[in-house]
Amino acid sequence: MECLSLDYKSAGVDGRKRFAMTARVREALYGQFKNAGGCVAVITCGRSEFYFTCAKKEAETILRTVFGAETDAFRFYEDEQALQHLFALTAGLCSMLVGEDEILGQVREGYETARKSGMTGRLDAVFQSALSCGKKVRSRTGISSQACSLATLAANAVFSFKEGRKKVLVIGAAGKIGGLVLKNLAAGKNTEITATLRTHAFTAEAAGVRTIPYDSRYAALNDADCVVCATASPHTVLQADEVRKGLKEEKERLFIDMAVPPDIEAAVAEIPGCTLLGIDGFRAQAEENNCKKEKAKEQACLIVEECVAEFLADEAARENAEKIRGLGDAQRRALYALRKEDPRAFVEKMKEQKEGVAGNE
């Protein structure tokens, strides 16, 4: 398995938005990868990652064809390095906010979507093991005990913006991130929340949340102190010129954009009284939060190493099953004991035996 990864460390929002995916783009991507051995795409607000079994050059060609953008900024992981990265990703160790809860579900969703498209034949075992590792890390460590969600940080930014009661407009509350922001806001005090409504199917889960039609979003801006956008739209949902028209009263306002590609046009920050905070703007708060988790992070890294070693040992056992069955009882017992006590040593033992057979040939 190999991986091409673009995340918040290697590219800003403008770079990452070129590899954001609509359903149509995903269909085109998997159509291209179908003849190349399959692919799993993991797309979040902080990263676009593609796991595949074909050659790197072939994968890069497919990405350039589908997205119409260069892949120079992507990090490349191969073989065990790719395994380590995926397992660490599901554990929450690669996120801006270490231990965040959402990434495990996002990887699972990316895998399940690819599986239903028939793209995971040679990737099933590794993704299932990585997801199991992510759950193990969360159950054994306190890595998720602190505020571990960008949605939480967004809500905290609203709470700390000015004193007193605040009127908050949430655009995209029916989505996963928007829904989490909404729940966090509703759990706080001194907030009067309005959420946009795209379809009649959406019901605000939080008590006291007023809903308005999505098309009324500009008209609702004037009353708002804070505006949070978290849609899955491939286009800007708040354009600066329309925002200016909607703001009849000049006052301090906070706009928070949780989307990639961005929901809010950058020029909104130039409107008097308006502060625009993009998703990468939470990095300072995330780093402060991460510092409190150093011990849990160390424990998580050890668990990831353990899970990777166990996966490699399982793979080596499957590849050498026939050879192991041909050994004497004592040798088999010794190998099984080695596999349990030291998976890495077991993998090396299998390699040595394989190389020895090849040398004899």
Chain segment 239-295, per-residue pLDDT in tens: 999 999 999 998 999 999 999 899 999 999 999 999 999 988 888 878 877 887 888
**Residue 197 DSSP code:** E
Buried-state track 77-98, b at ≥16 Cβ within 10 A, e below 16: beeeebbebbbbbbbbbbbbbb
| CA 292 centroid distance within chain | 21
As a whole number of Å, the CA-based R_g of the chain is: 24
Provide the pLDDT confidence category of residue 101 given band limits of 50, 70 and 90: confident
pLDDT surpassing 80 at residue 136:
yes
Q: Which residue has the tokens 């899970």?
A: 307
d(CA 213, CA 225): 19
Using the Cα atoms of residue 69, residue 74, residue 76 and residue 82 in order, give the sign of their dihedral: negative
- Six-digit token pair at 240? 């600066």
d(CA 85, CA 91): 10
Distance CA 19, CA 278 (A): 18
Query: DSSP secondary-structure letter at 97?
Result: S
pLDDT of residue 266: 95
What distance, in Å, lies between the first and last C-alpha atoms of the chain?
28
| Pairwise pLDDT comparison (231 vs 356), residue with the higher score | 231
How many Cβ atoms are within 10 Å of 154's Cβ, its own excluded?
27
CA distance 73 to 75: 7
pLDDT band at 148 (very low <50, low <70, confident <90, very high): low
Domains present along the chain, CATH in parentheses: 2-140 (3.30.460.30), 150-282 (3.40.50.720), 312-333+344-361 (no CATH)
Mean pLDDT of 104-122: 94
* Contact indicator for 263, 233 with CB cutoff of 8 Å: yes
> Are 173 and 340 spatial neighbours (Cβ–Cβ below 8 Å)?
no
pLDDT band at 190 (very low <50, low <70, confident <90, very high): confident
Torsions phi, psi for 259 (to 5 deg): -105, 150
Select which of 3, 39, 45, 274 is catalytic.
45
324 pLDDT band, cuts 50/70/90, is confident
Whether the Cβ atoms of residue 289 and residue 98 lie closer than 8 Å to each other: yes
Query: Is the distance from CB of 45 to CB of 258 less than 8 angstroms?
Result: yes
Distance CA(353)–CA(323), nearest Å, equals: 9
Q: Which class for 47: exposed (0-12), middle (13-18), buried (19 or more C-beta within 10 A)?
A: buried
| Nearest alpha-carbon partner for 155 in 186, 115, 126, 124 | 186
Cβ–Cβ under 8 Å, residues 117 and 21: no
- pLDDT at residue 200 above 70? no
Task: Indicate the average pLDDT of the chain.
Answer: 89
Backbone angles phi, psi at 8, to 5 degrees: -65, -20
pLDDT value for 147 = 52
- Please tell me the predicted confidence (pLDDT) of residue 202: 44
Per-residue model confidence as pLDDT tens digits over 43-99: 988 899 999 999 999 999 999 999 999 999 999 999 999 999 999 999 999 988 888
Tokens of 60: 């890069």
Short-list 311, 342, 326, CA closest to 130: 311
Whether residue 31 is predicted with pLDDT greater than 90 in this model: the reply is: yes
Reading the block at residue 48, the tokens are 């676009």
pLDDT digits (tens, 9 = 90+) for 203-236: 444 457 888 999 999 999 999 999 999 998 889 9
Residue 134 token pair = 């992510």
Write out the two tokens for 195: 């959420």
Place of tokens 């130039």: 270
At 361 the pLDDT is 43
Reading the block at residue 315, the tokens are: 């793979």
**Residue 242 — left, alpha, or beta (φ > 0 → left; ψ -120 to 50 → alpha)?**
alpha
Is 45 designated active site?
yes
Which residues neighbour 292 within 8 Å (Cβ) at sequence distance 6 or greater? 146
